[in-house]
Amino acid sequence: MFSSSAAPFDPETDIPSLKDKVIVITGSNGGLGYEALIILGKHSPTKIYLCARSKEKYEKAMEGISAAIPNAAEFVKYRELDLASLSSVQKAANAFLAENDRLDILMNNAGIMAQPPGLTKDGFEIQFGTNHMGHALFTKLLLPVLTKTAAEPNSDVRIVNLTSDVHMLAPKAGFLPGECLTDMSTYSTWTRYGQSKLANILFTTELTRRYPSITSVTTHPGGVATNLLDSFKSNYPYIKMVVNPFWKLLATPASIGAWNQTWAATAPVEGKAWTKSEGKERRKVPEVRNGAYYTPVAKEGGQTKLAKDPELARQLWEWTEEQLRENGY
C-alpha cells in the first residue's frame, strides 16, 4: 500500500493543470477508471469521457464523482462502450470524433478478469477479445485525432494501457492466434487472462514504434481492491471464503491503486522540458519513458521476456489488423 508521503508521486500536488485537455477513460464507471477520473477531474480538464456499458452505470458513477468534484457534470461526458462488441466500439469512437477535434489522453483502463470460457460478440475468446481486441479497435479509430493533437505546438498526447503482472501466466508461445478464435476452454482462466494482458503490453510496444509522436505506456496497478475478481469468486465460492478476508487486508484501495496510471498520464515525459504549474515549481517526480512498462508507482521494468519481444509485438499487431479487417473494421 502506498502513501503520498512515501510515494514518488502525489496526485493532489504533482498533476499540473489539465486545462484545455480532452480525456477518454474506458471502464470509468467503477474501480480504477472511476478513481482515475476523479483524480484527473480535480485538475480542470476541458472534458473527460466516462465510458461505460450503459447510461445507468454512468448515472450511478456520477453520484460519487459529483460528491468528490461538485462541478463534474459540467465536464464529465457519457459515452456508451461495450468492448466485447466491435460494433459498439466503432459507434463510441465515431460519436467521440463527431464531437471533438482533439484528444490528449486515452486511458484504456477497462478490463475483465478470471472469466469462465466464453466468446465476445465477434467470436474472440472473451478476455482476449475484451481486453485487447476491443481496445485495439478503439485506439485505431481514435489515432487520427490523437496524431492530429500531437502535431500541435506544445502538445503532450498520451495513451496509457492498463495491464497486469499476470501477463507472466500467458501461454509459453506468448499469444495463440488460432486459439484466440475459440473459447480456449482447455486452458485455465488465468492463462487466458495472462494472454490478454501480455497483448496489452505488446500492442503498446508497436504503438510506440509506429506513432512516436504519442507517448504510449503500459501500467500495472498492483494488487488493488476492485470488482475484477467478482466473477472468479462467484464461480468458486470456496475460494471466496478463503481469499476475501486476506484480500481486504492486503489489497490497495482503488483510490491509491489508480496513482500509477494517473502518474503515467500526467508526469513529465523523458527528454521534454520541465514546466511550471500555475506559476509554481512542480515537485520533481519520475519522468515517463515512451514505450515503458511500469509497476506502482513509476517503477520501470518487471515484464517478462515475451513482453519485451519486438517480433512478437509486430506479429500481434499484424494479426489484430487482419482480424479487424475481416470483421469490417
Q: Distance of CA 264 to CAs 106, 114, 252, 297, 299, Å?
A: 11, 26, 18, 9, 11
> Which residues does residue 160 pair with via DSSP β-bridges, in sequence order?
107, 217
- Which ranges of the chain would DSSP assign to H, the alpha helix? 11-14, 31-41, 55-68, 86-99, 126-128, 135-150, 189-210, 230-235, 237-250, 254-257, 259-266, 310-326
Q: Can you tell me which residue has the cell 476452454?
A: 185
Cell of 109: 483502463
The set of cell numbers assigned to 261 is 496510471
Residues labelled as active-site residues = 193, 197
**Residue 90 in contact with residue 16, Cβ under 8 Å?**
no
Q: Please spell the DSSP secondary structure of 112-165, one letter per residue.
A: --SPPS-B-TTSSBHHHIIIIIIHHHHHHHHHHHHHHHHTSTT---EEEEE--G
CB count within 10 Å of CB 145 equals 20
Name the DSSP letter for residue 252: E
